[in-house]
Structure 1
């Protein structure tokens, strides 16, 4: 089995077919088909069912897909480790992050990483939940993940580091609330209208819990893209619940920002697989943990 065969196989899975994969890899489709045919012969299984112009993973192909990604990740890590001897970290690290974690602490981590290791490029992938972040890391889709979760993320071969406790805030259009100071009790939310994200996000889970406890909290709008929550709040459609990473942006945009008493917090975690990692991934992990320890 050759590395090239695994790369071709993963490309077909991720691109959804032989034609798209050949185009993405810049290889002739017959060459791609021959390589996969050879791989199937060596393994003694059929990896794809050809249905018209489409390629559908067989049961054996589904079992191989995640393992192939992990093997390629490990090969990259070994190659990078050998190449990094005597040199600074360089290369690309793929990071899975929930939307709030993608803002903070990931933004600050990337800024510090650029200062410490200018040869490292960070590519982020969005996830709706901590469960999705963990799956992306364990499946080899990303090398490292950052997410918020009330429970410590777990999985076979997963390494988990607690980073900080993220605080959730109430954000409203200016002058909407008649309250002194910048602190409100949960009971103050009764009778208010809200712009919320769709289910599965940590912010939506907080809203649902508060609504069940406080009561009379109305959903004015439900959005799939968290970036539109603040514009809707500023237009007076409803208030919003946001992680503290949004606080500076919300205030600069003119929104009123309030903390809860008692505070609403959610632990944030850094996760990665056990075993060898690339120099770029190690730089990201070390930079993240150094920032945590100095906070």
Structure 2
């Protein structure tokens, strides 16, 4: 089995077919088909069901997909370890993050990485929940992840470090006068309208808990793209719960920002797969942990 065969196989899975994969890899489709055919003969199983011009993963193909990604990650780690001896830390690290974690600490970590390890590139992928972040790491789609979760993310072969407790804020339209000074009590929310994310996100879970406890909270809009929460708040559609990573941006945009009394907090985690990791991933992990220590001090 050759690395090239695994790369071709994963590309077909991720790009949804032979034609798109060939285009992305910049190889001729017949060459791609021959490589996969040889891989199937070597393994003794069909990896795809050919239905007309479409290729659908077989059961064996589904089992191989995640394993192939992990094998490629491990090969990258070995190559990076050898190169680091002579060239210093360089390479790419793929990071999965929920929306608030994508702001902080990921932005701060990337800034520090650029100063210390200019040869390291960070590529981020969005995830809706901590469970999705953990799954992306365990399946080899990403090498590390940052997320908020009340429980420690778990999974066989998953390493999780507590970074900090991020704080949920109430972000309200300009001029709403929702709270007293810079704080607000849960009971002050009664009668307010909210823009909320769809279920499964940590923010929505926290809103639903508040709604059940306080009562009389109205959902004015439900959004799938969390990037539109702040613009909708600024247009006066409703208030929103947002993690503290959004605080600076919300204040600059003119929204009113309040901290809860008592505070509403959620643990934030760094996760990565046990076993060999690339030098770039190790640099990201070390920088993230060091940043967390700095933030707590």
Q: What TM-score comes out, normalization by structure 2 length?
A: 0.98
Structure 2 CA distance, aligned partners of 1:24 and 1:70? 21
The 5 Å alignment of 1:132-147 reads 132-147=132-147
Structure 2 CA distance, aligned partners of 1:168 and 1:276? 35
Structure 2 CA distance, aligned partners of 1:217 and 1:179? 16
The 5 Å alignment of 1:1-295 reads 1-177=1-177, 179-295=179-295
Structure 2 CA distance, aligned partners of 1:253 and 1:28? 49
Determine if contact 2:172/2:178 at 8 Å carries over to the other structure. no
Structure 2 CA distance, aligned partners of 1:20 and 1:5? 16
Number of corresponding residues: 295
Residues 69-118 of structure 1: per-residue CA shift (max 9 Å, x gap)? 00000000000000001432111100000011001111111111111111
Structure 2 CA distance, aligned partners of 1:269 and 1:59? 33
The alignment partner of 2:8 has SS state of helix
Structure 2 CA distance, aligned partners of 1:130 and 1:4? 32
The alignment partner of 1:84 has SS state of helix
Determine if contact 2:196/2:223 at 8 Å carries over to the other structure. yes
Structure 2 CA distance, aligned partners of 1:249 and 1:18? 43
Q: CA, structure 1 residues 160+179, in 2 after alignment: closer, same or farther (shift >3 Å)? A: closer
Structure 2 CA distance, aligned partners of 1:269 and 1:47? 36
Structure 2 CA distance, aligned partners of 1:251 and 1:29? 52
Tell me by how many angstroms 1:232 deviates. Answer: 1.1
In the alignment, structure 1 segments of 5+ residues that lack a partner are: none
Residues 116-149 of structure 1: per-residue CA shift (max 9 Å, x gap)? 1111000000000000000000000000000000
In the alignment, structure 2 segments of 5+ residues that lack a partner are: none
Moved over 3 A (4+): none
Q: What TM-score comes out, normalization by structure 1 length?
A: 0.98
Residues 234-291 of structure 1: per-residue CA shift (max 9 Å, x gap)? 1111111111011111111111110001100000000000111111111100100111
Tell me by how many angstroms 1:178 deviates. Answer: 5.2
The alignment partner of 2:85 has SS state of coil
Structure 1 CA distance, aligned partners of 2:178 and 2:125? 40
Aligned alpha-carbon RMSD (Å): 0.9
The alignment partner of 1:11 has SS state of helix
The alignment partner of 2:155 has SS state of coil
The alignment partner of 1:171 has SS state of strand
